[in-house]
Amino acid sequence: MVIETKGADAPSARAFQQFIGGQWVAGATGETYERRSPATGDLVETIPWGGVEDARRGIDAARAAFDAGTWSKAPAAQRAQVLRTVAAKLREQLLPLAQLLSKEVGKPTNMAIAEVAMAADVYDYYAGLALDIRGDAITNYAPDAVGLTVHEPVGVVGVITPWNFPLLLISWKLAPALAAGCTVVAKPSEFTAGTTFELARIIAEAGAPAGVINVVTGPGNVVGAELAASAKVDKVAFTGSTAIGKTIMQAASGNLKKISLELGGKSPNVVFADANIDQAVGGSFFGIYLNTGQVCQAGSRLLVQESVKDEFMAKLTAFTKTVKVGNPEDPSTTMGPVINEAQLEKVVRYVHLGEEEGAQMLCGGGRLTGDAYDRGLYVQPTIFDHVQNSMQIAQEEIFGPVLSVMTFKDADEALRIANDTVYGLAAAVWTKNIDTAFKMAKGIQAGTVWVNAYHSAGLPYMPYGGYKQSGIGRELGHEGLEEYMETKAIQLKLA
């Protein structure tokens, strides 16, 4: 199934094939893509650089599997058992999966271990929900009638995923899709496709019938675009940039397929003077620097109340200077490289732009060079103070370890700044005052608001998604399962 490549470059680098209809098959174009480590430049893996034909083969396999009913009409207990087995296998294979994930993304190994463990939890959660899909009885609209609602799987789902949390974000889609009885064609990012192929292998080994999970790789604007446009696909679930989300929404209109889009953010992280300042410093640090800032919900706009600004920024800047940027395999590394050259250029461009726009750099400053840094794509954690919310560094998603800092006088001003954005994915508020906490939590236009926490662990229990241009639909929780089901109203007239 997986072929070992030879050569000094990287003895463990694997060549994956497309996974279609339960088989490993060569890509139709014969071309391949080499993924090189963002930390060292070494070869990590090769994947097929497929075309429209690969996408169509994947779609046909998923369509045939769905229509055959072996999964879509399987007893709930069978689907739940497969999902529980996926969770168990992810835990059994935690270390090799985390090592591959770490190589692909460049994230420190302990972070990759956490991601695999969190992904496993998602399958267990939806195994539980799969057992409890239930409709309603509506019995009061007429004396001689009974109304029932039943939920049915939506059908074939196209899943298009990014590179920042490749195993977790795809699991947010696959677990509820499989729980509902859907079949899937997944198009992972070419930078991190190996872990998705491994996940497909695990799902098949766990007992999902052939064609229930298919993985095809190739250019996003070819393979991904075909999934979004195909009339044989009933729903597309996407995580990635807002720009591509809009493209997918347009392509999906051809057959009015259902969409769920989880897109970008510029999330406000609001610190009030009455907060536990040390906790807020720690949370703000984690909020912006996790995964080298490559997080859709990163707390990239820090709003600090004027009276505690100096104390807060002194602590946060000192903490930031302790970050150890380096090779993700080194256990002392706390921040790995960025994902690819385009992302490196983007971060460096915004750091220059911040200076041009007149913000004051407190620490950081772009690319790290010299010695081992020259082999990879490393940037410094960077803080800009005296930012105006109208600046590009406050309005545009940088997707790197770059923090924009502003101040506010009171809750009304904080709310005005927090909501002055096209995005609405997440936000955090730090305060000990319950009135302030609820005023902010209710007033912020975002799909998630944390109080006295950042990136905290309500997942997979709580729904996740964006207001405004941060997306459409919700993942996780009960809402995340509903996205993969239709509702049918059955009306019985008593004779």
Q: Would you count residue 376 as binding ligand NAI (CB under 6 A)? A: no
| Residue closer to ligand NAI, measured from CB, 267 or 327 | 267
| Residue closer to ligand NAI, measured from CB, 166 or 364 | 166
Q: Would you call 262 a catalytic residue per the annotation?
A: yes
Task: Report yes or no: 81 and 131 within 8 Å, Cβ to Cβ.
Answer: no
Count of residues interacting with ligand NAI (CB under 6 A): 26
Residue 75, preceding peptide bond in cis (omega within 30° of 0): no
| Residue closer to ligand NAI, measured from CB, 249 or 453 | 249
Q: Could you say which DSSP state residue 475 is in?
A: B
Binding mask 181-200 for ligand NAI (x = CB under 6 A): ------x-x-----------
Computed over its alpha carbons, how large is the radius of gyration of the chain? 23
**Interacting positions 245-304 with ligand NAI (CB under 6 A):** 247-248, 262-264, 296
Task: Report yes or no: 398 and 442 within 8 Å, Cβ to Cβ.
Answer: no
Euclidean distance between CA atoms 144 and 365, whole angstroms: 74
| Residue closer to ligand NAI, measured from CB, 360 or 392 | 392
Task: Report yes or no: 446 and 474 within 8 Å, Cβ to Cβ.
Answer: no
Kindly give, in sequence order, each residue whose CB lies less than 8 Å from that of residue 330, ignoring residues fewer than 6 positions away: none
Structure tokens at 465: 């998604």
The least CB distance from residue 139 to ligand NAI, in Å, is: 44
The least CB distance from residue 395 to ligand NAI, in Å, is: 13
CA 234 from chain centre, in angstroms, equals 21
The least CB distance from residue 51 to ligand NAI, in Å, is: 14
Task: Report yes or no: 440 and 414 within 8 Å, Cβ to Cβ.
Answer: yes
* Identified binder of ligand NAI from the candidate list 153, 240, 299, 447, rule CB under 6 A: 240
* Identified binder of ligand NAI from the candidate list 17, 72, 109, 164, rule CB under 6 A: 164
The least CB distance from residue 160 to ligand NAI, in Å, is: 5
The least CB distance from residue 57 to ligand NAI, in Å, is: 17
What amino acid is encoded at 367 in this protein?
A: R
| Residue closer to ligand NAI, measured from CB, 233 or 271 | 233
Q: Would you count residue 162 as binding ligand NAI (CB under 6 A)? A: yes
Q: Would you count residue 106 as binding ligand NAI (CB under 6 A)? A: no
The least CB distance from residue 340 to ligand NAI, in Å, is: 8
| Residue closer to ligand NAI, measured from CB, 16 or 163 | 163
Choose the catalytic residue: 262, 397, 475, 483.
Answer: 262
Euclidean distance between CA atoms 162 and 182, whole angstroms: 21
| Residue closer to ligand NAI, measured from CB, 242 or 305 | 242
CA angle 17, 87, 189 (to 5 degrees): 35
The least CB distance from residue 67 to ligand NAI, in Å, is: 25
* Identified binder of ligand NAI from the candidate list 97, 98, 160, 303, rule CB under 6 A: 160
Q: Would you count residue 241 as binding ligand NAI (CB under 6 A)? A: yes
Choose the catalytic residue: 296, 397, 482, 483.
Answer: 296
Only segment of 11-19, 242-250, 355-363, 379-387 that touches ligand NAI (CB under 6 A)? 242-250
Q: What Å distances lie between residue 152 and 74, 84, 267, CA to CA?
A: 12, 21, 35
Only segment of 101-109, 216-224, 404-412, 435-443 that touches ligand NAI (CB under 6 A)? 216-224
CA atoms in the 13 A half-sphere facing the CB of 419: 14
Structure tokens at 78: 């069978």
Number of H helices, E strands in the chain: 15, 22
3-class DSSP state for residue 64? Answer: helix
**Interacting positions 321-360 with ligand NAI (CB under 6 A):** 343, 346
3-class DSSP state for residue 461? Answer: coil
Binding mask 220-239 for ligand NAI (x = CB under 6 A): xx--xx--x----------x
Euclidean distance between CA atoms 395 and 3, whole angstroms: 45
Q: Would you count residue 72 as binding ligand NAI (CB under 6 A)? A: no
Q: Would you call 363 a catalytic residue per the annotation?
A: no
H/E segment holding residue 439: helix 434-443
Binding mask 119-158 for ligand NAI (x = CB under 6 A): ----------------------------------------
The least CB distance from residue 27 to ligand NAI, in Å, is: 15
Q: Phi-psi bin for 184: left (phi > 0), alpha (psi -120 to 50), beta?
A: beta
Phi, psi angle pair for 22, to nearest 5°:
85, 5
Burial class (CB in 10 A: 0-12, 13-18, 19+), 197: buried
DSSP result, 140-192? -S-TTEEEEEEEEE--EEEEE--SSSHHHHHHHHHHHHHHHT-EEEEE--TTS
The least CB distance from residue 398 to ligand NAI, in Å, is: 7
Q: Would you count residue 450 as binding ligand NAI (CB under 6 A)? A: no
* Identified binder of ligand NAI from the candidate list 350, 399, 430, 454, rule CB under 6 A: 399
CA angle 403, 418, 440 (to 5 degrees): 120
Task: Report yes or no: 455 and 287 within 8 Å, Cβ to Cβ.
Answer: yes
| Binding footprint of ligand NAI on the chain (CB under 6 A) | 160-164, 187, 189, 220-221, 224-225, 228, 239-241, 244, 247-248, 262-264, 296, 343, 346, 397, 399
Active-site residues, by number, are 262, 296
